[in-house]
Structure 1
Amino acid sequence: MKKLTLTSAAMLEQSIVDPVKRRGNRQSRVPEIIDVSINVLIAAGYAGYTINRVANDAGIRLSTLQHYFPSREALLRATIEEISRRYLERFRHFAENKTHSPQARLETIVDDAFVELIKPGLPASIFESWGLALHEPFARDVVVEMQKQFTRLFAELVGEINPQLSSAERELRGALIMSSLEGLVVFLRWSNDSASKLKTYRNAVKVVWSGLSRADD
């Protein structure tokens, strides 16, 4: 048997494993970090948000986090985009469900909004995103772009309900529905009304959105 020589340097090289390699690749690591980032944004608010806390709550080194997101801005941008994407994909799932009529799909979005927007957790992150957008241009750009995508989604659905409308009119009505949805985010966040009252409001929103979609040009 050959003589085996162990040095402290060799032992350290084997014990200090790159956290990125040890704990996952980019496909698994990035979503994990963003999930933690969303939770920190909700818990601490945009003013108290730090990448150090995200790294700590994620159980990783700051240098590991910065391997994927080199700055607070980069991580917050990805976080806001993910928050918006989740709601956009949720509503798109309903809007593009061709097994139901366009009108039924629009009403399903209303029903879902009244369930999802009163839940604790993720809805609060919408307010933090808006608050950040008031102070940070990069956040404003993200919020405005996502608002355009939501408006486009509603405009396309309006076009299915009322094909005679011009593209400009569809876009206008999509924007009006989007503004109503943004109002719902605020209203439902602070509402302590009974379930029966919320049901009345929900039906009223359906009437308003339907009227916007069906009215003549």
Structure 2
Amino acid sequence: MKKLTLSSAVMLERRGTDPIKRRGSRQSRIPEIIDVSINVLVAAGYAGYTINRVANDAGIRLSTLQHYFSTRETLLRATIEEIARRYLQRFRHFTDNKSHSPQARLEAIVDDAFVQLTKPGPPAAILESWGLALHEPFARDVVLEMQKQFTQLFADLVGEINPGLSSAECELRGALIVSSLEGLVVFLQWSKDTALKLEVYRNAVKVVWSGLSRAGD
């Protein structure tokens, strides 16, 4: 009988065929888990969402997932925050671009919103987050906090467009723009309109947001 020898390279190769992924670094693993979590939220809805499903779809053991997110609530909280953070980061990219006028920056956000909110996936995750917030206090707290941040972003932009407004008036108008944006999330998810008609809607939203920003007290 021949002597069986296994090199370390062969052993590592065999381990690599294990369907359970080896633990990565915290810096790389957390974003991966949250990406999968967003996909599960979209696919299963908040009612069907489980951390077991997330672990399975991520190709990791449940115990590995719980090393980073101990409960369903902590993972969902991080997931909702990440969904909102991505949109907030996109919009801040426009608001912070001082090479363009405040009005141009506001219109750029409208253009980007119509592109992003007509995509499959993340917009549906927003709706699921809102649905969860109706039933879970922790989710409601997250959604309300994110709403405040979006309101402040638009309030600051309104203040640049119309510097004569008080801070309270800017905040009010920022909140009205956010309410319009939230309506767009719902409308564009259900809309079956043609690209030409969506273009009409997009230009109309620019007129409405501009009117809210420019009107006097």
Q: Which amino acid aligns with 2:112?
A: D
Structural mapping, 1:28-107, within 5 Å? 28-107=28-107
Q: Which amino acid aligns with 1:87?
A: Y
Aligned mates of 1:65, 1:202 — CA distance in 2 = 41
Q: Which residue of 2 aligns with 1:193?
A: 193
For residues 124-164 of structure 1, the C-alpha deviation after alignment (integer angstroms, 9 at most, x for no partner) is 10010000000000000000000000000000000000011
Q: Please state if 1:143 is matched with 2:143.
A: yes
Q: Which residue of 2 aligns with 1:178?
A: 178
Aligned mates of 1:116, 1:28 — CA distance in 2 = 25
Q: Which residue of 2 aligns with 1:5?
A: none
For residues 3-55 of structure 1, the C-alpha deviation after alignment (integer angstroms, 9 at most, x for no partner) is xxxxxxxxxxxx8xxx89x4311111111110110010010000000000100
Q: Which residue of 1 aligns with 2:9?
A: none
Unaligned residue ranges in structure 1 (runs of 5+): 1-14
Q: Which residue of 2 aligns with 1:133?
A: 133
State the superposition RMSD in angstroms: 1.2
Aligned mates of 2:190, 2:63 — CA distance in 1 = 39
1:112 deviation in Å? 0.7
- % same residue: 83
Q: Which amino acid aligns with 1:170?
A: C
Q: Which amino acid aligns with 1:115?
A: V
Q: Which amino acid aligns with 2:195?
A: A
Query: What SS does the corresponding residue of 1:23 show, helix, strand or coil?
Result: coil
**Native 8 Å contact 2:23 2:64 kept in 1:** no
Aligned mates of 1:71, 1:63 — CA distance in 2 = 11
TM-score (normalised: structure 1): 0.90
Q: Which residue of 2 aligns with 1:165?
A: 165
TM-score (normalised: structure 2): 0.90
Q: Which amino acid aligns with 1:117?
A: L
Aligned mates of 2:78, 2:185 — CA distance in 1 = 21
Q: Which runs of 4+ in 1 moved over 2 A?
A: none
